[in-house]
Structures are given as structure tokens and as C-alpha cells.
Amino acid sequence: MSLLRQNLTLEVAAVATVFILGAFTPAAWTEETRTYDFKLPDLEGKEVSLQQLLAQGPVLVNFWATWCKPCQKELPHLDEIAREFAGKGLSVVAVSVDNPRSVSKVKSYVKAQNYSFITVLDTNGEAKRAFKAFSQPYTVMLKQDGTKAFSNIGYKPGDEKLIREKILALLATLPAPAETAE
């Protein structure tokens, strides 16, 4: 058996195992304790710190690009989520991974669409590498401690409903905000 075939056999066996186990692995087993952070400029050049946003509550981070067709389909749904949960403890951040070739088009696209979420520019791919967002769109829900609550690869119609359900479930675990005295 050639070296390549040995490797391939190992790979196929491993992939098949994970493929099967993936369907039955309890969600709790996949919980992460790794934390994430970035500081990136927004469309006006002002620095946005993920840690500062996390201090206010969970953050939904979406990696996208102007040339990415599925991203263009998903962004309107993220905008709906951002508007629905505004003031309810959730921040929505769209991280544009447009490189120097296309970064000049980001502001035009976002402003024309009147999106309400925070848009930041990851022009040199720093956050993309940290999150392993090798393909777009890639959506990550971060808990307030900076660890990952869930993630979603790609976009298929219906994903936005699952994301919304998971956001509601996550927000339900947070302590109720203190009532303001009259």
C-alpha cells in the first residue's frame, strides 16, 4: 500500500468516525472555553474593541465580504436580528474580510443598504485568522466571557431562524437587567 493510500485510509476512517459521531455528540461536549478578541476600525475609521462590546453583553460576529454571494443573502437577516435585539444586550458585528482589492467598496455597500449592525474592516485578515474564518459567511455567537456559544458555516435559507432561536436561548440565561428607579 502506498504512503498516500495509508494517509487516505486514515483520513477516510477519521472523517467517517467524526461524521457519525457528529450526529450523536451531546452539544455540551462541544462547548468551548477559548476566548476571542479583536480591535478593528469601523467604516469611519474608529476603533471597535470586541472586549468592550462583550462588556455590554453577548456578541454575534459575522464574517463576510462584498464579493460573497451567500453573504449578501444573509446580511439582511443579520440586520433584522440587530434591529430586533438592539437595547436587549446583544451586539451584532459584521467583520468585512475584504482585502485591499475590494475594501473600498464596503462602505458604499453597507451604507446603501442602511444596515444597522456594526461593520468593521479586517483588511489584513487578523480576525479572520484568529477565528479561522477561512470561508465566508461564518457566524460566531460569543458569550459575554468571550467564549463561543455556537457557530454557523455558510448561509442557507432557514439558518437565520436557528441563529435567532439560539440567541433567545442564550439571552434567557443572562440575569435580567436591573430595573431603573423612577
Partner 1 sequence: MRAAGALALSLLAGFAAGTLLPPRAAAFDLGALNAGGSNQTEYSVATEDGHEILEEWLDLELTAGDLAAGLRYEAFQPPQKDDPLGDPVREGVAFRYVEVGRDWGSLRAGNYYALFGRGLSLNLFEDRDVRIDNNLDGVLFQGASGPLEWTMLSGRARVTSSERWPADDSGLERLDLLHGGDLALRPVSRLRLGVSAVRSRFPLAGGEVRRDLVSGRAEVSAGPLSFYGEHGTLDGIAGARDGEGTYLSVNAAMKGVGFTAEYKNYDRFSLTTLDGRINLNNPPALSKEQSYTLLNRDPHFLVVNDERGYQVELTAVPRHGATVTLNRSRNERHNGLVWYEEYFLEARQDFDGERGLSTASIIADYRGVEEGKFHSSFIGDVTWILDDVYSLRVEAGHQHTENTAIGSFDTELVVIELNQSPALVLGASIEWNNKSDAQRGDEDAVYAMGTVSRTLLGDADLTLAFGSRQAGYYCVGGRCRYEPAFKGFESKFLVRF
* 66 makes contact with partner 1 (CB under 8 A): yes
Subset of 82-121 contacting partner 1 (CB under 8 A) = 97-105, 107-114
**How far apart are CB 131 and partner 1 at their closest, in Å?**
8
| Chain residues 131-170 in contact with partner 1, contact rule CB under 8 A | 132, 134-135, 150-154, 156-159, 161-162
Which CB, 114 or 180, lies closer to partner 1? Answer: 114
Q: Show contacts with partner 1 in window 5-64 (CB under 8 A).
A: 6-8, 10-11, 14-15, 17-19, 21-22, 25, 28-35, 43-46
Tell me the three cell numbers of residue 28: 455540551
How far apart are the C-alpha atoms of 133 and 175, rounded to whole Å? Answer: 31
Q: How many CA atoms lie within 13 A of 86 on its CB side?
A: 10
CB 156 within 8 A of CB 131: no
List, in sequence order, the alpha helices (H) in 55-174.
69-84, 106-113, 126-131, 159-172
